[in-house]
A and B are shown apart, each in its own frame.
Chain A
Amino acid sequence: MPAEVDVRHLRKNYGNVAALHDLNLQIESGEIFGLLGANGAGKTTAVECIVGLRDMDEGEILIGGSDIRRQSTEAKQRIGVVLQSTSLPDHITPAEALALFGSLYRHSTPTAALLKRFGLAAQANARFGFLSGGQRQRLALALAFVNQPSLIVLDEPTNGLDAHARRELHDDILQIKSDGHTVLLTTHDLSEAERLCDRVAILDHGRVVAVGSPRELIARASGHHTITLQTDRAIDPDGLSKLAGVSKIFGEGLTVHLSTNDSTRTIQALLPLLSATHAELVDLHLRRASLEEVFLNLIENDSEKSSAKQPT
């Protein structure tokens, strides 16, 4: 059985700027796959190439085995997309929009069923211009399901939503997976990715720098721990940075976070420093690195490698 999405050697340039370098991704059927990256990392370009919105310069993208360029009709029948900035004419109603877009596919879900499923039955004949932000987002989701797709692509779906709407959308996405769909999700929100995604790929400057489940990525960064230290008086940051195992310090003043790859030795060295500075320990926490910290670490390492390669 072919992967639901198979991206091979994808390259995309904007003029002289390379947006994607030899991108390779495989998304298996039934999983929620997260594409993570900072602004400008190439997430949206990659997604737009995958769904056929943007022409690629090189490479191949297969959706359920159909080439998005050469067999676009077949490939597009399988994809439902929630665009980052989605809008419709102010005067169209949800029922009309669903009927219109449903008619452009070979198979479509009945409009009434979609309205009911996405809680828009009461707004079926309301003009788009009068819908709330949450209702518009639900309509965008309903439009993505209009063609009974096997792959749902969500480009930054929770951008601009309040906490309640975000939580509802998270539940929807998990339900989509339970219904047997594959989900490709791009997001800035790493806690969201950690909560929802079976696997993630971290993109930086158009390259995949890591792929795996959030747990795997965190485990791969094994040894990476964060020590949160609270004292009754400030400690010199230079002294903390010289402690054994410490790779980075966040914060200053009375509460400081130490990133360390050897927590035992760091704590052993910390106690003498506290004694020497006459600082009293108020609180101390030790925890494994989060996906966000793994992400930042990977991005930083990649940037350092890139700058090291730059001719001086």
Chain B
Amino acid sequence: MNGFAQLLRVSLLLHFRNRLALIYGYLFPAIFLAAFWVLYRHEPVPLVRHWGQLITVTILGSACFGLPTTIVGERERGLWRRYRLTPARLGNIVFGTVVARFVIIVGAGALQLALAMSIGMSAPAHPLEFLAAFTFVSFALLGVGLMIAALADNVPAVQALGQCIFLPMLIIGGVAVPIESLPEWAQKVSAFFPGHYAVESLQACTDGPGLGAVHFDLVALAVPGVAGCFAGTKLFRWDAGRRFRSINGRLWLVPALVAWLAIGVLAQSQYSVAPAIEPVAKPPVKTVGATVPKPSPTPQSPPASKPVVPPDSTAAEPWLSVTAADIAGLNYHVPPDSGVVTPIARPDEQPDEATANALDGIQGNLAIWPLAHVTDPVQRTLNLLSVAAVMDLAQDPVERFLPLMIFEQLSMSIPRDELVQILAWIVLHPEQGRTPNDLADLGLGGVAQSPLIRERADLYAVKFIARLTGRNLSSPSTKPEQR
């Protein structure tokens, strides 16, 4: 048996003989799974909407604690000094150790999947792509683990450093707490954490459109992964006697940190990464539809001064000026329907009884809601989109089913081609029109900041346009416009 295979074999044997490692590696993920199940018990399909979060927590725990504890513990025992006496290259031994850890994580993930499916979760919609995303996420986070192993002088230091990364990533990195529940500053910060992209990519392969919709996430995982592995190997210490402060080459930390920063900064300009962080009020650089920043010249004056609630508008219909090119130029790179931002239920999904009752109530109220009947079709559409947006922001149980109801209502009341133009007009003119931010008269309690409502409304508008025109949301402009 060659060196790599022996290293892998022995690493796995040692892991399975270590009771504490088994508790951390397998029991804790199972406990997390149970906690999520209890927390989201009202959902029709157990855990499926949180699968990306759950798996990310598992990988993150193993990367922040499991891998560095193993490496630092073995270093303290002198095992790595013994490795250094052999002709084996450092990179090969580190690689063997990382691969062994990956196999351990795959085992934990498989256990979670088996448990989740035993309580009713469906298998990931794109299993092979899920495995690919799993590998990307593991790679990125194990790079973080190597950095911790390089920085920590002893095992207690691993725990301290690991917590410094694990907890922020869980709480404000979009891993354990849904990102839209966070304040705006935390949403911005989350763009700098790989955990954010880990959740999105895994979720997209679980009940979303697959990896095609999350290209940026893969880049955002790969770049810090490469940088972390590189810096972790460069800063690697064979000998526990050599303290971190005494070693040369500490500047190798810089590229790893720069990689994180670069991804975060890049994410600020990519809607798909940080959906709710750009204020809507900035007219020309609105993230959705930013590829067509200039509004059509014709509709300038009337809509800007058009009253919102007043029922009638005698002005010319500016949305008619929206062209096929304008529609084709919109940014269709939006969060997946299966994600946590602007979710939409699949057609075959059934709400549970309580959610169905709530939807019935909303449908009845919408029928008599004045804002659903204003004459101006742009404002009417925007009002209805806003209802879905507010429910999304409030994380109301109806959030995934309500957009289908709104879509149906709009489709029935406005001809398809006109509806496409109206929706595109809304997206292209984020500064125009007004969103209702209090839905008390609709019998709904969800209230959110106006810019966020408009942002989510615009996202739903893009998703509706895609449905009406048969576009693929994951790859803009890949399909010819069907008008």
Query: What residues of chain A have their CB less than 8 Å away from a CB belonging to chain B?
Result: 51-53, 72-74, 76-77, 79, 81, 83, 85-89, 91-92, 96, 99-101, 103-106, 127, 143, 147
Contact = CB atoms under 8 A, between A and B. Distances in A.
A83 B3 contact: no
Contacts, number: 70
Contacts of B23: none
Contact of B81 (A53, A76, A127): A53
Given A100-B10, A104-B3, A87 B79 contact: yes
Interface stretch (B84-92, B114-122, B354-362): B84-92
A104 B3 CA distance: 5
Given A91-B18, A101-B82, A96 B87 contact: no
Contacts of B10: 92, 96, 99-100
Contacts of A79: 85
Q: Give the 3 A-B residue pairs with the shortest CB-CB distance, closest first.
A: A103-B6, A91-B17, A104-B86
B6 A81 contact: no
Contact of A103 (B3, B17, B74, B85): B3
Task: Decide if the interface of chain A is mainly helix, strand, loop or mixed.
Answer: loop
A72 B87 contact: yes
A101 B6 CA distance: 9
22 contacts: A53-B84, A53-B85, A53-B238, A77-B87, A79-B85, A83-B81, A87-B78, A88-B77, A89-B74, A91-B13, A91-B18, A92-B10, A92-B14, A100-B6, A100-B10, A101-B82, A103-B1, A103-B6, A104-B86, A105-B86, A106-B87, A143-B82
Given A53-B84, A76-B85, A105-B87, A83 B6 contact: no
A76 B77 contact: no
- Residue in A73, A86, A88, A103 whose Cβ sees the most chain B Cβ within 10 Å: A103
- Residue in B79, B85, B88, B238 whose Cβ sees the most chain A Cβ within 10 Å: B85
A147 B82 CA distance: 13
Given A51-B85, A53-B84, A103-B2, A83 B78 contact: yes
Given A88-B82, A143-B82, 7 more contacts: A53-B239, A76-B85, A92-B13, A104-B3, A104-B86, A105-B86, A105-B87
B13 A96 contact: yes
Contacts of A74: 87
Interface residues of B, number: 26
Interface of B: 1-3, 5-7, 10, 13-14, 17-18, 73-74, 77-79, 81-88, 238-239
Contact of A104 (B74, B81, B87, B239): B87
Nearest to B10: A100
B7 A100 contact: yes
Contact of A86 (B2, B7, B82, B87): B82
Given A92-B14, A103-B1, A104-B3, A85 B86 contact: no
A73 B77 CA distance: 24
B1 A76 contact: no
Nearest to B77: A87
Nearest to A76: B87
Task: Decide if the interface of chain B is mainly helix, strand, loop or mixed.
Answer: helix
Nearest to B238: A53
A100 B7 CA distance: 6
Contacts of B86: 76, 101, 104-105, 147
Nearest to B89: A73
Contacts of A127: 17
Contact of A89 (B5, B77, B239): B77
A103 B78 CA distance: 19
Contact of A73 (B83, B87, B238): B87
A50 B56 CA distance: 46
A21 B86 CA distance: 27
Nearest to B76: A87
Nearest to A75: B87
Contact of B1 (A77, A83, A92, A99): A99
Contacts of A143: 82
A105 B3 CA distance: 8
Nearest to B74: A89
A312 B7 CA distance: 58
Contacts of B87: 72-74, 76-77, 104-106
- Residue in B5, B74, B86 whose Cβ sees the most chain A Cβ within 10 Å: B86
B74 A81 contact: no
Given A89-B74, A89-B79, A52 B84 contact: yes
Contact of B85 (A81, A87, A88, A92): A81
B286 to A, nearest CB: 57
Contacts of B5: 103
Contacts of B77: 87-89
